[in-house]
Structure 1
């Protein structure tokens, strides 16, 4: 039966004729040697050209990575070998090697040796540790030597292919060949050794259009493969798969079964002649060089063929045709996450077919191996054959020990009960592509999946998605359909299905309506996974180990894949509290995942809080914070606050719940060394905002102080009418360099002198001059003098344009009256207007004090009533102590502050209580004489 290998094209890069390709053993790189004399380095993951080298103007016929030196070597028709560092692109060595075209170079797997074969009919051995000296020359061929290869079983020997129609086998210690293999009718172009240790085979391709397999011990040709219609240019045994590959000038690449020698498939990408093929030891990739570019294909899948029995902790895997096993119990107690397990490997035996999948049944007693279109069921302990047959796909039942189903053809499924055929189902879709087991039989179509009952074979439901795999949980209530870019969780109603089957009410067209209901969607690329209760743990394509529960995806850990390559999940062992993963080289790694945590989260999702509270004590305190985050995501923030051990998380929860006291206690309990950090300051600020929103002004003020939020303190002190607080805030703001806050604080207090000095200290002299013109006319001359001195550094003319009232009094009308108003202001600025008088005092902000002062002087001289007295005489806030004479003589010096309830109407933000003080700011700010400046 065929191997049915999945073939995917990973790279398609157009270029000039490619004479040789080579895959890097660890990096996703392909090296291409071009007939034009260039070498290209391609990235197979991004399909981009990483680097290129212009080697010479003649063809480059061969190139090889030397990964252990971060170099590659190439051979060209100018008869020279060149060595380059592929990281720095530096040419390390350039030497003349042969007397004619060099056809091929070969790297020794362990020693510092390189072989080169040439049209001069010789093979030379080079040693890079001896300054690239030619240590040996092998002559014996009668025509061009097209290729040479080291024997992986015995690296002291190598074979060469020549156009003299022979293959010769040589030893590094002798100048003459050990023997020759003859059988091709025309020149031999290529050869390769079998990479395993069980067969002494060698493969060759020639101009007679055939591929031959040789036994180099008996020197006999054991098989000849026909099929190509032109010269065979390159052949190889794949290092991972039981296939051999040949490339020909007929433009095709043929893949043959390595055991049956049957042609599995023929590839033709329309790029004209195929010249070279290459495969890496630890991957399923195959690089092909054509006349018109480079192709990289992937044969099969990278995931190891393995299965973990979660009942016994035994993992079984296939290595080629050999079945091996190891026990995982007790080997991870002292290991760190991501550390490779040191396993005691047991050889169980060999399988007659090449395994492509290995899978335990529901209770772990039996093991099925599938491949080559066949299946063989073994006992899992002794690997005894239990049953076998031919099938395209195989699926175990989730219930019966010996119950399984096979996809016999595109339209037929057979169900077996206790290893005996039970029922045949005809597929209701035109073409089936896969089969899945579990609580129901699932048949995959091109764009759908169809479910059937195990017992009666009844059609249950058709779902319009095409999953790659289906996972059922242990209770058979939930299933996961894994698609390419997302996964869907469905709920299965077994009782409804059983009732419909018992009543014979299953519809042939609709099945059982409501048998499957969508629950959640996972927007992640799931590679492999396992249900644990209602929790699904899985690895994804991005290299993370996640679990999904209650509609939320959480990350257990990030997998270290830099050194190991991709890791594939085997399963979870509850008794070990660990998840096990395997890489392509069949190394096993483990990560911790506590069963108690998963069970607790499952109980919460099911709203079984009694069970959850029972499980919680079994969870270590180190995991309580992660559990609390899960509870928060589920909406149980009160419980999360009690469970969490993370102070930061508890603080966030306390804020979300509005528990100001709890949040304050958490901040007060912070270590001393953490109290002045940016994080602590931010927390106090957040708490203060919440306290302000809840009208807790005392706590808000404390939070602003601890957060050094001077702007917040200004708002709070202003709102509360806290004159002493604003005064202290102003001084503190100056010390901290918060000059804007300091200026506003001084201004609110009416201390315009300090505002003026603050502007001068911060070198804002023009602003100081304008302030003095509006509020402090006694300092105008000083401000102008300083402004001139500062401006002369830029322009003398501009400095001379500034007018001083001492020098130009005509430009400053009413300045004497403004000075009198300033004196009145200074005498009365400490008086406070109570908030209760706002409605009667607000109109005073629009008064022109200079005009009023002038009118008062005129009225007094005429003996009439003062306008100021007339304005304020009838108001409650101005008694006989606020007479005009007292204002003008500055005798009213009472600075007592009228108390008011901070919870009542906020006080007017004003610090004076007479007519001059009430209008000072707005009046001087609207002085028309400012135009003179």
Structure 2
């Protein structure tokens, strides 16, 4: 992409590409008379009638420096290719200034390894790779240059250790902790395989409101229920529904209900269009198999293995949980058993239930049985007396005088 700069009778020069304005450079007090891209350095130089020359970073468009030599208005700016010299033309004369330094920041060790900074890019080369060829004085060395990446700042000095680097993870952890760099702490904890650190980081990030880091930490620890509750508590109900559909199918109905309740406050029609997978299984094929897979993984348990066993563990992307769960019969939970007991009708003739671990009761003694017989006879007598009609008794055969004389 080609960029060009525009100056006009205004205090704001423009950095633009072929179609649109990319950036407006604000800072001059009077009209801008000249602007130039430096041929070597990544800077933009602007001159104005206010007598100042401003230097801007061509990538970030940040003001780097302001030059004012008191020579009235600036009319022209020019840079020389292959050099850091810049010529400035004023009302009262011209001046040449050098920006930065000609020699780059560099470092060389006893083994012939050279590291230097070319603007913001860091490069390296090795003199030992040249062999025993003879080089004349002043001749350019045929080095194989290797790029090491770019730096966010312009390096002024560079030093490197030829013996390698010394790892101080404890110091790095302390620095990241003081800077509250949760992303760096997560990278350090996962790279070192420190489960305790990941767990503490998850709790700290959750407490401080760093929800993304907390979710990722809990997810790496296999705490899917905590991840789901974190999404629900932060109002990310659509994400919670997709997480439940993928990893916790038994929680889909609850999450979808919460999602519909929350969405109904904004758009009732959209809320009504959400289908509960447990009620519309025809719209969600494989849901029953997902239930079995969830129970299968739960019974296997969340085993945290050391990082050294990664070679013996099948990656998740290569596993087929449904194929592994074939033939698996999930055990009924207490909730399902209670639901079945509520649905089953009560028996017509209840019988005493004997616990499985308690032996059957011994035969009843004789006395309670006899007592029960007497009670039964007494009840029969009472029933006969209640049914007796005294008016129907025939008294003709009874002689009261004979009975009294006896």
TM tier, smaller: 0.3 to 0.5
The TM-score normalised by the length of structure 2 is 0.41
More strand by share: 1
Whose helix proportion is higher, 1 or 2? 2
What TM-score results when the alignment is normalised by the length of structure 1?
0.19
